[in-house]
Structure 1
């Protein structure tokens, strides 16, 4: 079973929650009318794989806290609740949406088009990418950089929708 991930931009978490409620938690990138501007990126989780990209751009070692994220969906559990209660609990089953920190958006937005091949080559060295080539990663880097640029210009943040 693979992890599905989509990255998209929105003004704030309230907009994201409204779109997800209308889509019954489904990806805001699916359907005949895409609700939000985004990029489909199967398997590129925000903490590790996107974190490896951010590390490649910044030319620093990867760290677990390199990409800051805040849960947006499902809603925050009520106070005093420690975790999932049953197999139908959305915290256990997903989907999940995380708001990414502005530093991640700005790092991706700052990738000049002419540097995309070099960034992709550095990113391709990440063990989690299982030997992907720099050439195959160039379009992903370009798509994520473009999304981040549009988000920064609009004053939006980046979000990651994840589902098993």
Structure 2
């Protein structure tokens, strides 16, 4: 299902009354005018602006990532299978270190407390799966090259590492991965 951003009438932004007053974001998401006051304080209304310019607001479905960030329920410590960055035809188990909206900070299993290889992953477009997905789908589960030599038996290591851990539930990952072309 494709989401498309549509605007019913395009207008030269230099003629927009709002642009004359908009300066920059002040860090908390509110837009400030050049003199530092917020648009709300100046009496600006998005509804009035859209009506005045003959445009429509983008539908909420265009901002699925916001919904995901609010309702994702991903928790630090959960495990999941993720595409191996250096060998995209293979996967490896990673632990969620922290979450930030739709972003997950992940660490491949086998790195222990070493943070140097941690990486951010966008739940909307990343190739993420619950633990066990590779086995069910005949995909190759292989550790990253940087830690291959660390353990002689990766199967035994994974069994020990996964024992007692929480996997990211399948319902958090189902339908999350959408092709980037659908976002454009």
Comparing both chains, which one has the higher relative contact order based on Cα–Cα distances under 8 Å and sequence gaps of 6 or more? 1
- Decide which structure has the larger Cα Rg and report it: 2
Q: State TM-score, norm by structure 2.
A: 0.27
Larger strand proportion, structure 1 or 2? 2
Larger helix proportion, structure 1 or 2? 1
Q: State TM-score, norm by structure 1.
A: 0.29
